[in-house]
Structure 1
């Protein structure tokens, strides 16, 4: 971990390069350091995945409304202050990415950070 999942209204694809956002957020996660200069998250565990919703209803259902939901799952062990720093760093990148659309499209964005112990965690890798 961390695993960042982005769910968004499919109508956003015509206005935004979500692959660029994924790369930007991944880079942010792997570059974050704690107060001692250590990486906050392991490089090999970092995942950023984005999924467009082809069917959606946002607010009053007007077709131009766009919603982006980011959910970051992390393992326990970081201070609340460090988790807040992570959240602010991610939101700064999201804001910079969507700034060109500000005022042009009605976009709402939510970021949740969930921390939890896995009940079961299985892993497999080819390399």
Structure 2
């Protein structure tokens, strides 16, 4: 159940390719290993989904950014409002704290590299959180996993 859901303010769609971010994050998830060198996330279970927020408000709406003189004119248009990205990873129980930390650090580095060019042009807040069970109910039905379970 390694799912990563990305919620973001919609002005980023004009500035960044969020599909590219999804692919980079999925690849990063597939690259994380535990202390024994085994993949943390089963390849067939990795899911990364990104959604622009239909409605949002961030901080003071950009007033402090405008007052500071930084990025006063957004070269990509838009209101100059701050952008925000929330990345939430859900993983099942059973992984060590060190493994969870390694996964978080790996994904954070990918996000920082992806957003660096945009952060040079505008104010963006980025939050990445990892949530671990406990699941009350967890059913899975897929014909994807067998593609990766060949011995």
Same fold (TM over 0.5): yes
Residues 1:91 and 2:108 are matched in the alignment: yes
- Structure 1 position 73, deviation (Å): 0.4
Q: Taking structure 1 as the reference length, what is the TM-score of the superposition? A: 0.94
Unaligned runs of 5+ in 2: 63-78, 145-151
* Matching residue of 2:54: 54
Q: Taking structure 2 as the reference length, what is the TM-score of the superposition? A: 0.79
Which of the two has higher C-alpha Rg?
2
Structure 1 segment 55-94 matched on structure 2, within 5 A: 55-62=55-62, 63=79, 64-94=81-111
Q: Distance in 2 between matches of 1:41 and 1:75?
A: 9
* SS class of match (1:73): strand
> Relative to total residues, which structure has the larger strand share, 1 or 2?
1
- Structure 1 position 126, deviation (Å): 5.7
Q: Distance in 2 between matches of 1:37 and 1:80?
A: 15
Superposition RMSD in Å: 1.3
- Structure 1 position 125, deviation (Å): 3.3
- Structure 1 position 81, deviation (Å): 1.2
Residues 1:121 and 2:134 are matched in the alignment: no
Residues 1:8 and 2:8 are matched in the alignment: yes
* SS class of match (1:58): coil
Q: Distance in 1 between matches of 2:39 and 2:110?
A: 18
